[in-house]
Amino acid sequence: MTYSIIARCPRTRRFGVATATFSIACGRRNESIRANVGVSKSQAFYLRQVDVLALNMLAQGQTPDAIMRSLEQTDPDFAYRQFGIIDREGRVAMHTGAKTNPWCGHRVGEDFAAYGNTLRGPATVDGIVAGFHASPDAPLEERLLQAIEGGRKAGGQASHGETMPERSAWLRVVGALDWPEIDLRVDLHTDSIVELRRIYTEYQRYADYYTQRDRQPRSAVPEQDFAASLITSETST
């Protein structure tokens, strides 16, 4: 009961992942993405060690296809797994196990994979892809957010014909440094994708301030003063 997109930006070589799900606290799975290495995002019958192992193997120079074959040979429950892998060259491997809850499936394209399980139908994955391609020149984080918004609009999750709300959502992007440039999440919310968009929009207003505060601490404006200036600018427009 989850849908996700993983992607690499060929221009900036940044990696990102966005997820929406009925499950709670999906953002706890921070092992899914590693700067300068790649992405391995698991879901369905989630097993943490899959992503950790895949990222370690990517760091050693193994290809996504080779990693997928290795995991198939060593995981007795491989048929229950759903996960995608992207490496630093943009190569993609994807697996949706035969015992993953229906509807389940995936689409793979250049530098991305979109996938989900317990969905309304294939239109949800198509909606993710359409959202991702809607603004090709936008920053990766915006494209990922538009992707899961597209999946929600196209039907989202459903079980036994009943629509299931997205109770948690997660957006993470890493660049060249070993820390996330974007790491936003929503937990236990009735409409987590809408809330994630709201948080993302608000975070954009603070992003430059946080960067400059860290680089020039002696001249940094106190955060409460910066927040007050945002409120003042809102009321004056």
- Here the CATH number for the domain that contains residue 43 is 3.60.20.10
**224 within domain boundaries:** no
**176 within domain boundaries:** yes
Report pLDDT digits (tens) over 155-200. Answer: 999 999 999 999 999 999 999 988 899 999 999 999 999 999 999 9
The domain total for the chain is 1
Residue 156 is predicted with a pLDDT of 97
Per the structure block, which two tokens stand in for 183? Answer: 């790491």
**58 within domain boundaries:** yes
**6 within domain boundaries:** yes
**128 within domain boundaries:** yes
| Residue spans of the chain under pLDDT 50 | none
CB atoms closer than 10 angstroms to residue 222 = 9
**70 within domain boundaries:** yes
CB atoms closer than 10 angstroms to residue 48 = 12
In angstroms, the CA 59 to CA 65 distance is 14
- What pTM was computed for the model? 0.94
Residue 179 is predicted with a pLDDT of 86
Q: Please state the length of the chain.
A: 237
**216 within domain boundaries:** no
In angstroms, the CA 214 to CA 212 distance is 5
Per the structure block, which two tokens stand in for 44? Answer: 């369905």
- Listed residue (156, 75, 88, 172) closest to 116, CA to CA: 156
**141 within domain boundaries:** yes
**Structural domain boundaries enclosing 33:** 2-193
